[in-house]
Amino acid sequence: MRAIRQHEYGGPETLRLVTLPDPTPGPGQVRIRVRAAGVHLLDAQIRAGLGPPRTRVPLPMTPGREVAGHVDAVGPDVDASWLGRDVVADLGPASGGYAELAIAAAAALHPVADGTDPAEAVAAIGTGRTVQAILELAEIRADDIVVVTGASGGVGTMLTVAARRAAARVVGLATGATKARAVAALDAETVDSSQPDWPQVAQRLLAPTRASLVLDGVGGEFGAQALTLLRPGGRLVMFGTASGSAIPLDAETVYATGITVSAAVGARLLQRPGGLRDLAERALAAAADGSLVPRIGHRVPLAAAAEAHRVIEERRSLGKVVLVP
């Protein structure tokens, strides 16, 4: 099979296409012929050696933690009825998704509804699951004014659509005119955050009020500037640190503003009662019935995995980035 292999930590150029022996599923496992593999910012961080300890995999390794495709082989103790079925799976820390064939635990499989785009299915199991966790915590209401950072990305586009479906007013922050237009097409107001005066532009757009909810996946100084758009007593829900660091916050700020601060990912997500499976099932159901379909912005050939990582790291993505055979 063809697969992407990484032998050292470093830049996108460390991702190389190689030919490997076809893997064989062991007990409790199945083999998936991959039709789509999700690409995340976390994948790029792992590639660079910057991922959290729980994601560290000994090198050499094949990246990719989520795949969609059909089961073409099962382990000796796995129900043979899985053979030939369309599925999507989170591979966990073991990774291995950037390949034509991937091994997954049978317990991690989710059936995919007939006619579902594999790229949308794999986006749902990863990005969509995260979005469901954010929405569960944010509890968006019709009277909310929501600011979404990184609104043109995979998570950002889904949050924007979900907030508009809840009848909330949405202001999306997007880097560059092209991204801003893409967010505007989702029926949201937009601010081009590549401009140095974007916080002032956003404040004028929101005037005479301010946001009741900020959904932030960027963090750092950018997230701190987005936080200035939040009214006293508002809610901040954090779900990522695309800038490389979290929003600098202290207790004095919370006391002074009366805001509620929470994080939808990290410890809360990992220790969530009932685990993550129901979030994934919600995301898949929403994709299947059309109520919240992930936007696929980039379908990149497997051999061009390095370019997929560049798109993510250079913030050029318009929706979800997916590798296809």
Q: Which two tokens stand for residue 214?
A: 């900020």
Whether residue 200 is contained in a domain is answered as yes
Measured CA to CA in angstroms, residue 69 lies from 127, 272, 325 at distances of 17, 28, 11
- What's the rounded Cα separation, in Å, for the pair 233 and 213? 10
The domain of 265 spans 128-270
CB 237 within 8 A of CB 137: yes
Q: Are residues 149 and 30 in the same domain?
A: no
Whether residue 277 is contained in a domain is answered as no
Q: What is the CATH number of the domain that holds 303?
A: 3.90.180.10
Q: Are residues 84 and 186 in the same domain?
A: no
| Average pLDDT estimate for 223-234 | 97
Residue 263 bridge partners (DSSP): 238
Q: Are residues 44 and 141 in the same domain?
A: no
* % the chain with pLDDT above 70: 100
**Domain limit, last residue, from 236, 254, 270:** 270
- What's the rounded Cα separation, in Å, for the pair 191 and 115? 36
pLDDT of residue 195: 95
- pLDDT digits over 20-46, tens only? 999 999 999 999 999 999 999 889 989
Q: Are residues 169 and 99 in the same domain?
A: no
Whether residue 123 is contained in a domain is answered as no
pLDDT of residue 223: 96
Q: pTM here?
A: 0.91
Whether residue 143 is contained in a domain is answered as yes
pLDDT of residue 114: 87
Q: Are residues 54 and 168 in the same domain?
A: no
- 30 phi and psi, to 5 degrees? -130, 165
Helix (H) or strand (E) holding 122: helix 118-123
Report the largest interatomic distance among the alpha carbons of the chain, rounded to a whole angstrom.
Answer: 65
Q: Are residues 200 and 156 in the same domain?
A: yes
pLDDT of residue 217: 95
Q: Are residues 97 and 170 in the same domain?
A: no
DSSP per residue, 169-216: EEEEEESSHHHHHHHHTTT-EEEETTSTTHHHHHHHHHTTS-EEEEEE
Q: Are residues 105 and 238 in the same domain?
A: no
Please tell me the total count of domains within the chain.
2
**Mean of per-residue pLDDT scores for the chain:** 94
Whether residue 138 is contained in a domain is answered as yes
For CA atoms 279, 283, 284, 289, give the dihedral sign: positive
Whether residue 118 is contained in a domain is answered as no
- What's the rounded Cα separation, in Å, for the pair 79 and 69? 18
Whether residue 279 is contained in a domain is answered as no
Q: Are residues 262 and 163 in the same domain?
A: yes
- pLDDT digits over 111-158, tens only? 998 889 999 999 999 999 999 999 999 999 999 999 999 999 999 999
Q: How many residues does the chain have?
A: 325
Q: By three-state DSSP, how is residue 161 classified?
A: helix
- pLDDT digits over 171-202, tens only? 999 999 999 999 999 999 999 999 999 999 99
Helix (H) or strand (E) holding 130: helix 129-138
Q: What is the CATH number of the domain that holds 230?
A: 3.40.50.720
For CA atoms 170, 175, 180, 183, give the dihedral sign: negative
Of 50-59, 162-171, 271-280, the least confident: 50-59
Q: Are residues 155 and 64 in the same domain?
A: no
| Average pLDDT estimate for 2-17 | 97
Please report which confidence band the pLDDT of residue 274 belongs to, taking 50, 70 and 90 as the band edges.
confident
Q: Kind of pairing, strands 260-263 and 2-6? A: unpaired
Q: Are residues 133 and 263 in the same domain?
A: yes
Whether residue 120 is contained in a domain is answered as no
User: CA triplet 105, 106, 109: central angle to 5 degrees?
Assistant: 100
In the numeric block, the tokens 């976390």 are attached to 42
Q: Measuring CA to CA, which residue among 87, 88, 98, 81 is closest to residue 44? A: 98
Q: Are residues 76 and 178 in the same domain?
A: no
DSSP per residue, 255-311: HHH--EEEESSTHHHHT-TT-SHHHHHHHHHHHHHTSSPPPEEEEEEGGGHHHHHHH
